Structure formats: structure tokens, C-alpha cells
């Protein structure tokens, strides 16, 4: 519902003197503030004055304008909103967990430390690596931590020339950004026309500067949703030059249960728990980007670490260790990372179990392939190979209509879908990147396919309708450049703009 009474700004609903509360008179003697006059307001704050129901209805109605995975299908590629089961929220909100303090003594939170420890072990098993730190708070934070581990490794061998990081041109933007923040130089590796890494270009680069290569960062399946078949060869080439292999496991779901980065020869890897392991993200919400390393690199991982000890008298107990690691990076953030996100990942792993976790990758692949095959006669598929969890269209097949990827994305909103990722990756002009995730039903996918086909049809019969979409949303098409460069975010600013126009 978007009726006028509740749909405007709260300031526009204000009526002078209206109150939404009534508080008893205070009994405290010193009820007036004793702040220095210079710190006090000269006049009363200009707050909206509304009755209670107007306020409640206004904000409730606003909240209905939001769209999340619980509202409808959300086929965003790359930074996908994956499966976010409700039980995760219930577990993470339990007082025994939510009320913990990071400084409390280990004796008083053995349950939480055990869970933290078991999650580290589970991730090591799922990725085929030796040891994990759960400290990093995001994927990019994990990348930085992983690269710092790699740098510390080279430094420990007095191999100080290694300052270059090889990154394929299809990589997620955080890869080169993290390398730069780590003080390393980014060297781009070209892709072939099928979207995979150009091994000849890699060979050329390694001949040119092999001794300066600290690492190569890779995503597999890559950002186009394509499996990189040359991984064993690439890994060997980089290792032979003395570099390490970094795996960007932000979207590990197509691999879960099918294959493991450790087995493919990767030395360091980060995972996004807030994608693959079922924590909702977006809007900068809490994340977790654990980093795993192969045997031999554990000593460089950051602190604090949660370790398990076993003794005859005390049995099994869990401990927090911060010192005694000469080669560790030390602290890379606040305490232990975002524990709530870890609880959700742990719950997810346990609810799947060892057997069902093997279904995640194949189902993610099946769903993406189903959509791709059902739409490729009307949408341009630039790389027609086997896809994994996601794939990219290059706009509509029929380019004569003038309808762009942006128009298709906006029209999808009218039909109640979140738009896919658009204009990324940059390899194509009209990229439309779709990832359905593993948990969507066939009916949901069929509905989406039908709507995508309908939009393709509309583009032919009534292109204006698509070009001017969305029509059913509270706000129509915005000028995104103006919205980004000149956002109006306060009531006062809005009034000033209005006065200027008058």
C-alpha cells in the first residue's frame, strides 16, 4: 500500500503540536541538564510532530517497499544472496550466544569456543586445506589477510622481490583492490574468448617477471560461471616460478561437495560465509571471510586463535591464544570476527550434514544451466559452454529493438523480481549476469523464465514500455548518475532544492 497519508516523508506528515507519546513528569530533582551552555542547542530541534499511529504506519509502509530474498526471487550474479534459512537467525539470536563478550574468560564460554573451533575444522575439510582463521570480517578483508600471509611467507624466506600479483581480467574488483592495499603490484592476465584464463599469456608473463610473482589470484568457477579446466597446469606454472596460488572462494557453492581448492593445488583461500554459508548480506551488513592455508603456512595466520587441548585430568577444552606465534600476522581486526555470521554458517553446515552438502554444487549448477538453456534463443549467450552456478547474457538477442540490459532489469522489477547483476563483468557491453542459487524450486525458475521471455517479446512489440520501466514501483526510473553524484538525503536539502526551482 502506498497511500498518500503514509507514503510521504515523515516531515511532510508533521502537524505542529502533535505528539505521539505522553510521559509522566519526572521526579528527579536535577532534571535539567548541567551541560555547558556552549554545548546546548540554541533552539529546539526541528523534529517532525506526529501521532503514534501515523508514525507506525508510515514506517511500516516504507518497510514494505524493501525487497529481499524473503519477498521474491533474487537472481543476482556474483555477489549472490544465497539461501538464508530462518533457523540460522533463531540460533544466532539465542541469548547464550548473542550475550557473549569477547573478553570473557574461556572457562565461561567453552560452548562458543568449541563451535568456533569445529567451524574452523569443517571449513578446512570442505576446502582440503590445513588450517583456517575466522577473524576476517568480509571477503575483501579475507583477501587482504590471505595476501599478507603470502607476503609474510616470501619475506620469511628472504625472497623480497616478490611484489607482483597475477589476476585474470575477469576477476572480482576486490582482487586487484586487496592486492593494492597490501602494497603489491597488480598484473592482469588475459582471458580467452571462451572466458577462461589465457595460459599462453600467463606463460609470457611468468617468463617476463616470474621471479617477482608473489601469487596468482583465481576464482573457479570464474566470474563468468565457467570452470577453469587448466587449473592443474596454471598451478604448476606458478609454483614452478616460486609463486603461491590464491583461491577466491567467495562463491564456493558450485564447488561444495564436488571438488576442493586444496586438491587443485591452491595454497591460500578465502570463503564468504555471507554468501556461500547462508548469511544474508548487502547494505554493508556483517560478514565473515575466513582464510584457509595449506600445510606449512599455518604459522603466518593471524591471532587470536582458538585451539583445542586434550589432557587426561581435564579432558577436552578450548582455549584462546594470542601470543607465542613468532611469525603470525597478529591481530587483523576486532577480536574474533563476526561471531553471529559464524553461528549461521555452522548451523547451515550441520543442517545439511556431510551427505547433503554434496548436493549444493550440483543443484546450483543444474538451476543455472536450466535458466540459461531456456533463454538462450532470445538472449545473447556470448560464451556457450557448460556453466556452473551462474552465467552471463550479453543483452537481448534481437539488438534492433534498442532495448538495453538496463531496460530489461528495470522491467523485471515490474514483475516482482530483483534484477540480476548488470553491466558486470566488463567483458561484454550488455552483461546480464544470472545466478539462481541451489534452493529455488523448478516452479520459481519456470516463472522467471516465462517473465524473461515475455520481456523479450515486449521489447519487440512495445519497446517504449520496456524502455520506460519500471511502472509499478513506488519510484519510477531514476537518473542513476544524478542519484549517485547528487543525492538528496535530508529534508532541509529537499526544501532548499524546491525553493531554488521556484
Ligand X SMILES: *Cc1c(COP(=O)(O)O)cnc(C)c1O
- Which residue ranges make up the site for ligand X (CB under 6 A)? 78-79, 138-140, 172, 174, 219, 248, 250-251, 272, 287, 289
Q: Nearest distance from residue 1's CB to ligand X, in Å?
A: 34
Report the C-alpha gap between 296 and 197 in whole angstroms: 28
| CA nearest neighbour of 3 among 48, 52, 64 | 64
| CA nearest neighbour of 247 among 392, 120, 336, 147 | 147
Q: Which is nearer to ligand X, 143 or 430 (CB)?
A: 143
User: What single-letter DSSP state applies at residue 278?
Assistant: S
Beta carbons of 362 and 258 less than 8 angstroms apart: yes
Q: Nearest distance from residue 287's CB to ligand X, in Å?
A: 5
Q: Which is nearer to ligand X, 50 or 420 (CB)?
A: 420
Q: Which is nearer to ligand X, 276 or 367 (CB)?
A: 276
Q: Which is nearer to ligand X, 79 or 126 (CB)?
A: 79
Q: Which is nearer to ligand X, 221 or 382 (CB)?
A: 221
Q: Which long-range contacts (CB under 8 A, 24 or more apart) does 306-311 make?
A: 306/113, 306/116, 306/117, 306/120, 306/336, 307/117, 308/114, 308/117
Q: Which is nearer to ligand X, 269 or 408 (CB)?
A: 269
| CA nearest neighbour of 170 among 344, 10, 383 | 383
Residue closest to ligand X when measured from CB atoms: 139
Beta carbons of 273 and 88 less than 8 angstroms apart: no
Give the residues across from 392 on adjacent strands: 433
Q: Nearest distance from residue 131's CB to ligand X, in Å?
A: 21
Report the C-alpha gap between 459 and 462 in whole angstroms: 6
Report the C-alpha gap between 419 and 188 in whole angstroms: 30
Q: Which is nearer to ligand X, 251 or 278 (CB)?
A: 251
User: What single-letter DSSP state applies at residue 24?
Assistant: P
Q: Nearest distance from residue 178's CB to ligand X, in Å?
A: 8
Give the residues across from 325 on adjacent strands: none
10 Å CB burial of residue 309 (0-12, 13-18, 19+) is exposed
Q: Which is nearer to ligand X, 251 or 404 (CB)?
A: 251
Q: Which is nearer to ligand X, 140 or 456 (CB)?
A: 140
- Measured CA to CA in angstroms, residue 397 lies from 377, 382, 404, 405 at distances of 7, 10, 11, 11
Q: Nearest distance from residue 137's CB to ligand X, in Å?
A: 8
Q: Nearest distance from residue 389's CB to ligand X, in Å?
A: 11
Q: Which is nearer to ligand X, 334 or 356 (CB)?
A: 334
Report the SS3 class of residue 22. Answer: coil
Q: Which is nearer to ligand X, 404 or 437 (CB)?
A: 437
Cell numbers 543455472: residue: 368
Residue by residue, what is the 3-state secondary structure of 169-185?
Answer: CCCCCHHHHHHHHCCCE
Report the SS3 class of residue 368. Answer: helix
Q: Nearest distance from residue 219's CB to ligand X, in Å?
A: 5
Q: Which is nearer to ligand X, 79 or 320 (CB)?
A: 79
Q: Nearest distance from residue 176's CB to ligand X, in Å?
A: 11
Q: Which is nearer to ligand X, 78 or 431 (CB)?
A: 78
Report the C-alpha gap between 319 and 299 in whole angstroms: 17
| CA nearest neighbour of 147 among 121, 180, 169 | 180
Contacts of 288 (CB under 8 A, 6+ apart): 134, 136, 137, 138, 272, 273, 274, 279, 337, 338, 341, 342, 345
Q: Nearest distance from residue 9's CB to ligand X, in Å?
A: 31
Report the C-alpha gap between 201 and 184 in whole angstroms: 20
Q: Nearest distance from residue 210's CB to ligand X, in Å?
A: 25
Q: Nearest distance from residue 138's CB to ligand X, in Å?
A: 4
Backbone φ and ψ of 213, nearest 5° = -85, 120
Q: Nearest distance from residue 13's CB to ligand X, in Å?
A: 37
Q: Which helix (H) or strand (E) holds 54?
A: helix 52-63
Q: Nearest distance from residue 79's CB to ligand X, in Å?
A: 5
Amino acid at each position: 500500500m502506498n497511500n498518500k497519508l503514509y507514503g510521504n516523508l515523515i516531515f511532510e506528515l508533521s502537524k505542529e503540536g502533535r505528539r505521539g507519546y505522553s510521559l509522566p513528569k519526572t521526579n528527579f530533582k536535577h532534571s535539567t541538564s548541567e551541560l555547558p551552555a556552549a554545548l546546548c542547542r540554541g533552539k529546539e530541534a526541528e523534529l517532525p510532530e506526529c501521532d503514534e499511529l501515523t508514525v507506525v504506519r508510515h514506517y511500516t509502509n516504507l518497510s514494505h517497499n524493501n525487497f529481499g530474498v524473503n519477498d521474491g526471487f533474487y537472481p543476482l550474479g556474483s555477489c549472490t544472496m544465497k539461501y538464508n534459512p530462518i533457523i540460522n537467525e533463531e540460533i544466532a539470536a539465542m541469548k547464550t550466544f548473542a550475550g557473549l563478550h569477547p573478553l570473557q574468560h574461556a572457562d565461561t564460554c567453552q560452548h562458543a569456543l568449541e563451535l568456533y573451533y569445529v567451524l574452523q575444522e569443517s571449513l578446512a575439510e570442505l576446502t582440503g586445506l590445513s588450517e583456517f582463521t575466522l577473524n576476517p570480517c568480509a571477503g575483501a578483508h579475507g583477501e587482504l589477510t590471505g595476501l599478507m600471509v603470502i607476503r609474510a611467507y616470501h619475506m620469511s624466506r628472504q625472497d623480497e622481490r616478490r611484489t607482483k600479483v597475477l589476476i585474470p581480467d575477469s576477476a572480482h574488483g576486490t582482487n586487484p583492490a586487496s592486492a593494492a592495499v597490501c602494497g603489491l603490484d597488480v598484473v592482469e592476465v588475459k582471458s580467452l574468448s571462451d572466458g577462461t584464463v589465457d595460459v599462453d599469456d600467463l606463460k609470457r608473463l611468468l617468463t617476463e617477471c616470474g621471479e617477482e610473482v608473489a601469487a596468482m589470484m583465481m576464482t573457479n568457477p570464474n566470474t563468468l560461471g565457467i570452470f577453469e579446466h587448466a587449473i592443474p597446469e596454471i598451478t604448476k606454472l606458478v609454483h614452478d616460478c616460486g609463486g603461491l596460488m590464491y583461491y577466491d572462494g567467495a562463491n564456493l557453492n558450485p564447488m561444495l561437495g564436488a571438488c576442493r581448492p586444496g586438491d587443485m593445488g591452491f595454497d591460500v583461500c578465502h570463503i564468504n560465509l555471507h554468501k556461500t554459508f547462508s548469511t544474508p548480506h548487502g547494505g554493508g551488513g556483517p560478514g565473515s571471510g575466513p582464510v584457509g592455508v595449506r600445510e606449512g603456512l599455518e604459522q603466518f595466520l593471524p591471532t587470536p586463535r582458538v585451539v583445542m587441548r586434550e589432557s587426561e585430568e581435564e579432558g577436552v577444552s578450548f582455549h584462546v591464544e594470542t601470543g607465542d606465534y613468532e611469525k603470525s600476522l597478529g591481530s587483523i581486526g576486532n577480536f574474533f570476527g563476526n561471531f553471529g555470521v559464524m553461528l549461521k554458517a555452522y548451523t547451515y553446515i550441520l543442517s545439511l550434514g556431510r551427505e547433503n552438502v554434496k548436493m549444493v554444487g550440483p543443484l546450483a549448477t543444474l538451476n543455472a544451466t536450466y535458466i540459461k538453456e531456456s533463454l538462450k534463443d532470445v538472449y545473447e549467450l556470448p560464451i556457450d559452454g557448460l556453466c556452473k552456478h551462474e552465467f552471463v547474457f550479453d543483452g537481448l538477442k534481437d539488438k534492433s529493438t534498442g532495448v538495453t540490459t538496463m531496460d530489461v532489469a528495470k522491467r523485471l522489477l515490474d514483475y516482482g523480481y530483483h534484477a540480476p547483476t548488470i553491466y558486470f563483468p566488463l567483458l561484454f557491453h550488455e552483461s546480464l549476469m544470472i545466478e539462481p542459487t541451489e534452493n529455488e524450486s523448478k516452479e520459481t525458475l519456470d516463472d522467471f523464465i516465462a517473465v524473461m521471455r515475455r520481456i523479450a517479446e515486449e521489447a519487440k512489440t512495445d519497446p517504449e514500455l520496456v524502455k520506460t520501466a519500471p511502472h509499478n514501483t513506488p519510484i519510477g526510473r531514476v537518473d542513476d548518475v544524478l542519484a549517485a553524484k547528487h543525492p538528496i538525503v535530508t529534508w532541509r536539502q529537499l526544501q532548499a532544492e524546491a525553493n531554488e526551482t521556484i
